[in-house]
Amino acid sequence: MVNEKEAWTLFNERSYEFQIMNEFQRAKIILKILNKTYPKISVPLKSRNIFTLLISVLLSAQCTDVNVNNVTKSIYPKYYKPLHFKRLGRKKIEKLIEKIGIFRIKAKSIYNLSKLLIEKHDSKVPKTFEELEKLPGVGHKTASVVMSQGFGYPAFPVDTHIHRLAQRWGLTNGKNVTQTEIDLKRLFPIKNWNKLHLQIIYYGREYCKARDCFGITCKICTTCYPNRKKPIKTNKA
């Protein structure tokens, strides 16, 4: 229970923060810091073509990019087309990816989407959100990554990390990842989206970690909220 004195202090802190900087001003500062910190950015997931990029993004759910890359580095030299995975079958795919979390579910998705790509898309990865999100195991975030990193289409994939950071940085109310994506697209120029989502991920891993900073120690947090004293709690995706 917050007493009157604490409530008044909290009100003053938040009012002060609002007065000195609005969300568009914060977005501008954040973009400047990220561009200076990561002038050049690389795609963390290794792939051989757009199809293997799709597979890697699918595998990365509830799994680190490092783990995915360690597993796929021995797969992609030999298997890199939908036909390859269709011929392998579910059980052999499971064996190849068994070191990755929920590998049986992912193996089923990989097998089924490979069949679907062969049957309905001439073995090619579709270039629209609508068609991508109809593929087994492919949600909006996965489709956004493929559209962005595979086809260069402006997109803003929002994962749990970006969802957390956007709340810490005062860019969204944190209602859900859908709202966070809408807010980030509203605040940042479309030309920055593809690079920016990767910059945010890298910054979150290095400086504004999930179990560190808590909105009060990294450069972005202290610049955007110089008067903030208490750790910020964020809503999960």
The single residue of 159, 175, 229, 233 carrying the catalytic annotation is 159
The single residue of 141, 183, 212, 230 carrying the catalytic annotation is 141
- Give the Å distances, CA to CA, from 116 to 72, 95, 109, 119, 126: 22, 22, 10, 5, 11
Please check whether residue 113 is in contact with residue 138, taking contact to mean a CB–CB distance below 8 angstroms.
yes
Burial 98-131 (b: 16+ CB within 10 A, else e): eebeebeebbebbbbbbebbbeeeeeebbeebee
CA-derived radius of gyration, the chain: 20
- Give catalytic status of residue 159 as yes or no: yes
Q: How far apart are CA 161 and CA 80, in angstroms?
A: 29
- Give catalytic status of residue 183 as yes or no: no
Residue 83 identity: L
- DSSP string computed for 86-109: HHHHHHHHHHHTTTSTTHHHHHHH
Task: Please identify every residue annotated as catalytic.
Answer: 141, 159
